[in-house]
Structure 1
Amino acid sequence: MNKEILVKTQPTLLRSFMAVLVLMSASQFMMTDASATPAIQGLAITKGIKVTTCTSCHTSVAGSKTNLKPGYAAAFKLDKVALTRLKNKINGCPVGQALNQITFLCVAPIAKAGTVGLAASGLAKTDVYAVTCGAGTTALWVSVIDLAPIKLPLVSIQAKKGTIASVLSTDAADGNTVYSPLVKVAGAAGAFTVNVNKSAYVGALAAHKGPESYNARFSCRNAAGTQLVTTPVLKQNQ
């Protein structure tokens, strides 16, 4: 009788055992898949990436591979070790630089060094650049830095597209390493005009007269913020 019971129960025990194995395998798979997001978040934090919650990278608190924000998966796949591309995507680029939405690298604007102003003169003067922007451009961004020696006149920059102009961006502190605020003028591909200005000095001190040295930055960008072909040419040097 005991042998008969044992024989009958063996198939049932085997089926139960197999069911447990399948359940354990499924659980292991789900845990591995779910734990990937916290693991990446932990790595990102060590790299200085600004991820505080799931919604830093995902469209909902239930973070998964299927609800990553646009571009985040591509940026991660391009550099899974240092996470530099993902860092650029999330933290943003340094001031004045633009993020390439394909490579996720930060691209420095096109820079032009120059001088504006006449020797031994305190008169206000303006350098003029003609800037050609490539296909896909939606705006031209500009900024300027007033280089040493330190003088009282201020250096500023302004971008124009036809009759439309950006606000004036002025470097209020001469001789440091900080550029003036980045400003833009909207416009499609083609010709733009950029003025770099030196304000007047009406005092008698010779040290504050004469030309001002500067470095101007130009960046033609599309709607996504990617820098495109940017070609500035100096047309007027005062």
Structure 2
Amino acid sequence: MSDFIGQRVLVIGGSRGIGAAIVSAFARAGAAVQFTYAGAHAAAQALVAATGAVASQCDAADREALVAAIAKAGPLDVLVYNAGLFLSGDPLSLEPAAVDRLIDVNVRGPYHASVEAARTMPEGGRIIHIGSVNGDRIPFPGLAAYALSKSALQGMARGLARDFGARGITVNVIQPGPTDTDMNPASGPDVELMHSVMAIKRHGSAEDVAALALYLAGPHARGITGAMHTIDGGFGA
């Protein structure tokens, strides 16, 4: 595959899991790939060695640092915002500061990143956000704050799709279900509970999500925008 030769791709939150799979997929497709990471320095350097991508450390909750990183990396043909925090628990006992940080990374970050990337993005650019099926469905208690952040991406993508559509820039959200990563391993303690509400009773892979990101960034997806693309094994069916 060589659809992305000569294209500049930036993955926000790309050192591990789904983000690392996306970095690897675009690198194999010929793109010049850059990615940010928050604290996983060893994982980031290993990914650089494996893919030839360029890594930079950036806290996605820091708006000024995030905007600066995107401006430095641009102009971009593709922006993938994968950075995200997961938080669960009784909303009456969750730390408000933890909820605020989740919103900073999961909601404010993708909005500001999208706007900054669009400033210099060429005609036909691609903006992709990694959301969650929990933006559509919450089958278990304790996920209100997380679901708030992921459903917010839906409205944002629809709005930005309208805002940037005249330039042919598409804005889409990928919504994975249970995916085998460090955050949600297929051998984790809650696997049976998650699989009980799935049609296909297994975790997906980060490579599955990366393949969908590659499609949405490619030439055949130029008419797909403002849409949610769920890849969840029927978790939300």
Same topology, TM > 0.5: no
Q: State TM-score, norm by structure 2.
A: 0.24
Structure with the larger helix share: 2
Structure label with greater radius of gyration: 1
TM-score normalised according to structure 1 size: 0.24
Higher-RCO chain (CA-CA 8 Å, sequence separation at least 6): 1
